[in-house]
Each structure stands twice: as structure tokens, then as C-alpha cells.
Structure 1
């Protein structure tokens, strides 16, 4: 599927997600604005998750933490965490339970929401520098992989880092690293360039999340820490309940990247 039009403003995208008119990955949309991964946990686990984010800032750069029960983030005027994402996932006892268009019907007064930076936020800057990204051009989700890189644990939260991968021409790798490094709230510079086996990734054609894309002869795989890491950690930690965005379907804030 090739996308030919994009939402330019965050509010328009959020409203389209709320109404069910927009259900696609958010890569390429609202260029220049910070996109965020979402993690919702009961208050009983919120402090440990906050500590996990602080100990693993590359994978979990915090944009905002909402008060218990709150659904209106300060970073997005008029928005609701419970309705304004193109897709949500619910996990119970570490197992994927369901994917939903909204989670307002599941809302609990003790839910604490965490907005975590997303690497989609630096993609507009790469495009402005003349570096086209294949998943954006093809209207696909970015490819994401579980690795063998351990996170620093906190309370029940432990597991390995998840990375996103973008094929980059060899001559552009240094430029890409410099540009993405300007966005610390969007995972910053790459974690790794080249050999995926060094990260414990056996086959790039079979991502754990998202869509595989072709890597051409003059390209190398470039890997960034990914905000899907908390989803994997919640699964590994057998968390009784958590709600996240569906992979690639982010909460788009009003903050400029």
C-alpha cells in the first residue's frame, strides 16, 4: 500500500483516530511534531515503571507522565489518551489479550499513562536532508526486532531492548546519526549499525513487530532503540494488566521535535 496523503497537523490526526477514520501507522504524518509511544499501567506498578524509564532512557525517553486516572495530556490540547491513537493493545498476565480502537471503555481510576518518545519524530528531519525512508514511502510500518541487549531492571520490569530498523545508504549513515542525535526525546542516535546478528537478530525479513522492507546493495541496516521495549518488558515480566499503543500507531503530540 502506497500512501499519497498525510495528516499535517496533530489535532487533525488525533480527531481522525478518535472517529475511526484513521487506523494506519503514524510514520510520515504530522511532520516535525513529537510522536509518542504509550504505556498505561495501574498505579501499583507506576513507580517501578517510572524507575525503569529513568534507568533506560535510550529506549524509554519520557515526554510526560499523567496523574492517576487522567486522560488529558498537557502536551496535546483537547486530546484524550484513551481515544486518540489509531490502535491500542491490551496485555493481561503478560499475554496479548486484544487490540482495540479505543480504551475508554476499559478505563480505571488508578491508570497511570506514560508518553515515551518515538523515533518517527526525527523522520521529517531526515526527509528534509534528502534521506528517504522506505517504510514511509511505501506506507508501511517500520520494522522492529527484539534483541539480546538487556535493559536495566526495576521492580517487576525486566527484559531486552527492542529496536527499530531503517535501511540507510552507506554514505548517509554519518549524516543520519548526526541528525537523529539531535532528538534525544525520540531515542537519539542509532544503537547499532550493520550486522544484525550482533544484536541477536537472526533474520531481518521476519521482524517481531511492523513490516519487513527490502535492503538494497548500497544500504546497511541501522538500528535505533524503540519504544516498543516496554511492551516486550511487560510481557516478559508477566504484568497483570497494561495497555499500550499498537506497534507503529503513535500518540501525536503538539510539541515540536
Structure 2
């Protein structure tokens, strides 16, 4: 196995196991561009009492919440990554109580409960290699920044006690390459698929692109068009809106890296 200390010079060349080992050792960083060709995933873990509501929410809002694995209660393992531990192998976690963010940590072991059911959801970072291969720039990746993410004015379809707004990620795409970006990402429906909006952010209720709700400020060059994809942070926004008594998630942009090849999700 590869071993690394600190942030590697070329995170794209790492194996998923080596990346997870670095995160387990305490490295916290956005994972866009890490482990090229490996599927990345969002995490939301909730008490078993709320798991059916969350599962129903993900099915009713599948573009934002595409489920790729669900664990048994209390089990921190996933079939998507041999030997991985969902309590430690993500760069950073957020812990919510009664809809409030109470802490962010690189190790969720002390907060993990025996009744937690973990949902792993597809992530748009997975299709970024496809964009690059098609010659479409991914500006936050080039700059070493986190992708900008925004809460929108579009409500998700409620499910039981779960409700909340759609969250989107944004990538600024040269106007001449928007069609190519749509074509590439449409081939990954389990990783959010095609954009949900192209152009004026006001149509999503976003007043200022330079003030994302999560992640870093966008990098926009002359001739770029803002393009928005449904985002796996949506369940976190729902946990807040619904005031769930307890939930653990990944920190936005700091994902779980699986052993599964991204090509396995492509149509």
C-alpha cells in the first residue's frame, strides 16, 4: 500500500486505500481530483428511527441523492471499499444535533452510535475526470480549491419528517463547451447526471455567486457560463431544515473515496 505524509504532490495518482489511510491519520482536504478514476461518495448517517424517511427522501429526490450503498445499523463498513471505516476514512465530518451543526472533526468515532444507518450517495467529483478528458476545464480543480455549493429556492419533495431545499454545485464552463459538459455528465446519472440549471443563478434564488453556502468562491473567466448540478449536500440541508435530532455527514467537498471505478457508473 502507498503511504503518504501530508498533502501529496499528485493526489490524482494515489490509490483509494492510500488516500483513506491519509484521512484516517488526520489529513483534511477537499477531494476533487483525488484518486483519478475512483468513485467518490457523499455520506449522511442518521438514527435507525429516521432511516426510512431518509431512504424515501433519497428516492423522491434521486438526482440530488443518488444512493449507492446503505449500511446496517451501527456498521461503519461498506461494500464499496474493502477494509474501509466510515467513521475515520473521510477527510472531515460534520455532526448535527436538532438541526444545528455542533462540531466538525476528522474522526467521527466518538460520535458514532450503534443505531446509525449510513447512506452513501453519488458525487459529482466522480464525473470531473470525464469533463477533463473531454477538454472541459474544471476551474476549482486547477486552482486547488473546493467546488462552490449553494442552497437554492427549489424545495425537495418531502418524505415523512424530512424536507429541505435542493443544494447545487456550480462549475463555470466556457460557453462553447456547455453542450459537451452536459453530454459528459448525462452519462453519470448515479453521480447527479446532467445539470439542473444553466445560466442566470437568480433562477435558483442565488443572489450572489461569490458567496457560496459551502465550499470556496467560484473561479469564473471571461466567456464562462455558470452551470449547476444537483449536489449530495442536499441531505445535510434537509437534516438542518427538518431539525433531525442527530446526524453525521461528510464536510462539504471532503468525500469518501471508494474502490469502485468511476467508469462503472457511466452509461
**TM-score category of the 2 structures, normalised to the smaller one:** over 0.9
Say if 2:139 is the partner of 1:159.
no
2: CA distance between counterparts of 1:140 and 1:71? Answer: 29
Task: Give the structure 1 partner of residue 23 of structure 2.
Answer: 17
Q: Select 1:35's aligned residue among 37, 40, 51.
A: 40
Q: Distance in 2 between matches of 1:255 and 1:182?
A: 17
Equivalent-residue separation in structure 1 for 2:37 and 2:192 (angstroms): 15
Q: CA RMSD in A?
A: 1.2
Deviation (angstroms), 1:36:
0.4
Which of 131, 134, 140 is the equivalent residue of 2:136? 131
2:96 is the alignment partner of 1:80: no
* Structure 1 residue aligned with 2:112: 107
Q: Aligned with 2:11: secondary structure?
A: coil
Deviation at 1:193, TM superposition (A): 0.4
Q: Conserved in 2, the CA contact under 8 Å of 1:144 and 1:163?
A: yes
Q: How many residues align?
A: 255
Listed one character per residue, the Cα deviations across residues 140-192 of structure 1 (whole Å, up to 9, x for unaligned) are: 10000000111010011111100000000000000000001111111001001
Q: Contact between 1:3 and 1:137, CA under 8 Å: does it hold in 2?
A: no
> What TM-score comes out, normalization by structure 1 length?
0.97
Q: Answer whether contact 1:43 1:112 (CA < 8 A) is retained.
A: yes
Asked whether the 8 Å contact 2:158–2:164 carries over to 1, the reply is yes
The answer to whether the aligner puts 1:225 opposite 2:242 as a matched pair is no
* Maintained 8 Å contact 1:3/1:139: no
Distance (Å, rounded) in 2 between the aligned partners of 1:176 and 1:207: 22
Secondary structure of the corresponding residue to residue 136 of structure 1: helix
Q: What pairs with 1:28-67 in structure 2 (closer than 5 Å)?
A: 28-67=33-72
How far the C-alpha of 1:85 sits from its partner, in A, is 0.1
TM-score between both structures, scaled by the size of structure 2: 0.93
Q: Which residue matches 2:4? A: none
Q: 1:230 to 1:212 in 2, by over 3 A?
A: same
Deviations 1:219-252 (A, max 9, x none): 0000000000000010000000000000100001
Q: Does 1:181 align with 2:186?
A: yes
Residue 82 of structure 1 aligns to a residue whose secondary structure is: coil
Moved over 4 A (4+): none
The Cα of 1:41 is off from its aligned counterpart by: 0.2
Unmatched runs of 5 consecutive residues or more in structure 1: none
Q: Is 1:26 aligned to 2:31, yes or no?
A: yes
In structure 2, runs of 5+ residues without a counterpart are: 1-6, 263-267
